[in-house]
Structure 1
């Protein structure tokens, strides 16, 4: 997964809480309760990130998750009809997410965790299928990995020393 340094202060980021889990640590002194928040942030224009925040209170966990996500922003390549340039499979742990390119008017066909990532990345037409594990955290990270692995036709053409028309033919 390629991470570019993106200045998050110049972006208008929107956040979505994917999941909040209550975690208990058992010690001989009793149980300590904490909360874990999985937060996705994006600018609806090709930048998206995911973060995990842990704290004793839910709002604090969400705030920490937002901070973590803004540090881990990735750039998503999109084509002219707000879809992805090619099909891709993102993997993280035992979760895999298949990202399929779609024509204009398809909309977002995706499950809960993958949908949050795709919407905040600014993609309007896409089909996704979650394969393997249904763990929300791994599905979100697999979707991010799949989106980060996308390559634009211009980049491929430059790498091969050809024109975009030669590659698309």
Structure 2
């Protein structure tokens, strides 16, 4: 004895899929969140460079930065990893770091924090500079200056 069971699952599933197809299934992080995190890390880096240049010990500088911007060290740790920076906190950080209001929100600023590729390039350039004679150093310096002066898209053919 065989029975056929009619299911409404297909039609329910189709209806659900239709509504899901109208919305974005992947949540993206707003650009303002990314910009604020990148920029606050740049401010943190400035703080660290200044503190180390002043001869302060490296230990405890994260806590000192948190005190400077008047937040808890725990909150600073969360901000560095993933916590979004709200409007009020952004203005507070800008005020305590003595930058203009809205500075953290700017996305068009080139990153002040070098990425790994930039660090590798600098290491290779430093090695080339140290191993070059005077003529090689002039050529290397001239090539880099010429390359930096070019406008984007003004590349010579390969």
**What's the TM-score bracket when you normalise by the shorter of the two chains?**
under 0.3
* TM norm structure 2: 0.26
* Greater RCO structure (CA 8 Å; 6+ sep): 2
Structure with higher strand content: 1
Higher helix share: 2
Q: TM-score, normalised by structure 1?
A: 0.25
